[in-house]
Structure formats: C-alpha cells, structure tokens
Copies of this chain bind each other. A is one copy, B any other.
Amino acid sequence: MFKLELTDHKTLKSAFESIHKIVDEIVLSADSETLYLRALTRDHIMFVTMELNKTFFDEYQCDEPEQMFLDANEFYKMLKKAKSDDILELTINESGVNIILKGKGTRRFNLTFLDFSYDNPVPPKIECPCNIRISSSLLKEYIDNMSDFSDRLIFQVDQDYFKILTDGQIGTAEIEYMHGENINESVSSQFSIPKLQDMLKSSKFSEECQVNIGNDMPLVLRLDLVTGDGYLEYLLAPRIDESN
C-alpha cells in the first residue's frame, strides 16, 4: 500500500521548480518514514537532495520501499496543475504513479514509469567552515543581479560580511550582507551563476536558507522547512579558473 495525501502541494512544487531544471530523469523514493530524492546532474557539478518526512503529509502510507522512475519535467507539469484548494494524492499502480487532484472534480494523472536502471547516489559529505543564514528570496535576487556582469561569481565570508563579487566587460559588482553569525575565518569560492540561478528557482521552498562555504570548496545550500518536516539541499562544485 502506497498512498500519500497532501494539502501543501505548493512546497513540493517549489522543490521541483529547481529539480526539473537540473535533472531530466529522477527516482522519487519512499520508505515507511520519508519521501526522498537524490540526484546528480549529468555534468557531475551539482547534487540535489530532497527529503520530506511522513509528518509533512496529511496522510502517509508506505508499507514497503518504493522507487518511482520519472521524467522530472512531466512530474513538475502535473504538480503545476494543482489549484490552491486541491488535495493532492500520490499512489502507484503497475504502470506508473498517480497524481490525483481532488477539488470540484477529481483529476487523475498517471505518469508511466521510465525504464532505466539507477543506483541512488550517496551525497558526498562536505564540511565547510563557514555557515551563514539568509533569506532565500534575497539570495535569489542577489544572484540574479550578478548575471548582467558575468557567468561566474565569488562567494566570500569573513567575520562580519557575506560578500558576492563578480566582474565582466561592463564593470564590477559587489554585494555586502552583514551576516550576524559568529565566524572567525575568511573563506572564498567561485561558482557558476547559471547553476546558482537554477538552484534558487526553489527559493519558495523555505523563507530562509543556509549557505555553507569554504576555500575553493563546494557550496552547500540548504533550505529547511520551518516545521522541521523536511529539507532541500544542493551541493555545487566550485569553479576553479585555470588562468587569470
């Protein structure tokens, strides 16, 4: 028996606003406690983890572990059909997953499972020295601001500030944000702006996000649900410039 029921489908949708941009095919997994997804992008530059606990759902029944092989974009399209007062139900039959929207009528969309083999990848453990918290929508805006200048930017953290820097042909850009954390180091890493923009498409998943940075280390961006019922986490490899 597999049946999940959900009124807060906006949060699930917001996770897929980014996921469907990052990966084409996904495995949505479920065990008795959690609905989860782990995916590595084809270019091996980004890793995304989504976990939604049993408690996140209005009803959660998963008697044995399930793996749903799906087209990320098609699944996202189904989530987008939900209206604010619809109840979303997920069930499984032999051929695919049912996305059922219960409102004035009942809309049942069955997405056929894709046929591919897959080992659920294990996310690498990254421990960066500096961790700051910032509004997700603010970070999204800051990164969008940088894209007029270049396709890469530098995240810097020191005692007082979280800084975002870039430069290009038209000039330079520098954003300073007082982080208010207890940090005693200075670190700096460079990342791809389009990849960051893809990640921040899920900025509505949670109001606040955690940014974890080291020296030429991968970025960890984590959005925790304020209820503690789940999270969305991205790992992004740094961009190391060969020259210049």
Which residues of A does B touch, CB under 8 Å? 71, 74, 77-78, 81, 95-96, 104-112, 135, 138, 142, 145, 148-149, 169-178
Contact = CB atoms under 8 A, between A and B. Distances in A.
B171 A105 contact: no
B107 A170 contact: no
A108 B170 contact: no
Tally of this chain's copies: 3
A173 B109 contact: yes
Nearest to A96: B171
B176 A105 contact: yes
A155 to B, nearest CB: 13
In the A-B complex, the 8 residue pairs with the closest CB atoms = A105-B177, A111-B171, A110-B171, A112-B171, A106-B176, A110-B172, A108-B174, A107-B175
A104 B138 contact: yes
Contacts of A78: 148
A138 B81 contact: no
A178 B71 contact: no
B138 A107 contact: no
A68 B146 CA distance: 22
8 contacts: A74-B171, A78-B148, A81-B145, A105-B176, A105-B177, A105-B178, A108-B176, A110-B171
Nearest to A83: B141
A110 to B, nearest CB: 5
Contacts of A173: 107-110
B138 A108 contact: no
A177 B104 CA distance: 7
Contacts of A110: 171-173
Contacts of A77: 148
